[in-house]
Homo-oligomer: A and B are copies of this chain.
Amino acid sequence: MNTYHGQMLTLGIFGQSHSKAIGMTLEGLPAGEKIDLEKLKRFLGRRAPGKNAWSTARRETDDADFVGGLVDGVLCGAPLCALICNADPRSGDYEALKKTPRPGHADFAAHEKFFGFNDVRGGGQFSGRLTAPLCIAGGVCLQLLEKEGIFVLSRALSIGGVWDEGELTSSTAQKDFPTVSDEAGARMRAVIEQARAQGDSVGGRIEVKVTGLPAGLGEPMFAGLENRLSQMLFAIPAVKGVEFGDGFALADQRGSEANDAFCLQNGRVSSPTNHMGGILGGISNGMELTLRLAVKPTPSIALEQKSVNLEDKTETSLIVGGRHDPCIVPRALPCAEAACAIVLYDALLKRRSELYGAK
């Protein structure tokens, strides 16, 4: 489903890579909040392609055109709806792919799902391009969270086997290439460039950290923050793993290590460690929320790959044309932030009902 049903927010994403337009509707936002459209544009710019050596040469005009929900830049209570027009796609490039699915892409699964009627142009509705409207929705939520003192930060934790070093802070997120260590960032870029030169691609890890999050967000069992965040994060095409706090490393720890003991900090319940990533029982506990994502290498590579011809059922090979990102991690960072922001702002709006009632 292209509709995400939060508790208070409902997000719909529509369009295909080469359809007339892509876009999003987001309903449930509070009326009266002003949206900074310039700030949103800068945020969308972080995801947009065509800027750097490590991203595709394609140029997309990803400006959000708001057709509903705003009056003079202020939310009016109607669903927020924004479009991004798809200008002049060269769909001809993709016609052969209708019968020859690209390895690592959704082509074959989509062909089975939709009985061959799926839109194959540019990956259709499975294209990474659909993260642009996700970033519009998330960019709006990020602004609204920031008004509450909640900040979502991210960095490239590893790319192509090269790891960043140091602690993620708000200053990292402002960087052009978002690593704590600029030296590690330089090595990552070299690994990306090397892969590109060889017609190949590399994957990596994304770290997300949320500061200022109050305790009490999230619901038990199926709508805990972990449940909701992972559900949302796997909507980003290349994500293949999600872990919270120490995540998979917890599998090798003992309870006496992993348990975050409680202490008092300025009269507030806190903990000297944060192995749990700020979530217990699905509910925020007032510590920083931390998570990491596994991002697979870009499936579109320039090397020849084996495939099958779905029409005449023969084995064949193909070369994926066009220019593609040799590493998707840098452009996936704002997507990850956006995804988290939508879930957390939804949880915050739900929490408001509880806090109001508790008074």
Contact = CB atoms under 8 A, between A and B. Distances in A.
A124 B253 contact: no
Interface in A192-228: 195, 200-205, 215-216, 218-224, 226-228
Contact of A234 (B105, B230, B254, B269): B230
A295 interface: yes
A76 B114 contact: yes
A54 interface: no
Given A16-B68, A104-B258, A281 B126 contact: yes
A138 B224 CA distance: 20
Interface string A77-120: 11101010000000000000000010111101110111111110
Given A234-B226, A243-B241, A358-B30, A13 B117 contact: no
Nearest to A241: B243
A319 to B, nearest CB: 12
Interface stretch (A38-46, A56-64, A170-178, A244-252): A244-252
Contacts of A303: 256
Contacts of A215: 108-109, 112-113
A14 B281 contact: no
Contact of A1 (B22, B201, B222, B313): B222
A299 interface: yes
A116 B354 CA distance: 13
Given A78-B124, A234-B282, 6 more contacts: A14-B27, A78-B125, A78-B220, A109-B280, A158-B252, A250-B295
A77 B113 contact: yes
B81 A251 contact: no
Nearest to A159: B251
Interface in A290-323: 294-301, 303, 305-308, 310, 313-315
A161 interface: yes
Nearest to A20: B67
Contacts of A30: 354, 357-358
A21 B68 contact: yes
A257 B202 CA distance: 10
A14 B67 contact: yes
A235 interface: yes
A68 B14 contact: yes
Nearest to A327: B255
A355 B23 CA distance: 29
A150 interface: no
A149 interface: no
Contacts of A27: 1-3, 12, 14
B256 A301 contact: yes
Given A27-B3, A158-B251, A294-B248, A110 B281 contact: yes
B19 A294 contact: no
Interface in A138-181: 158, 160-161
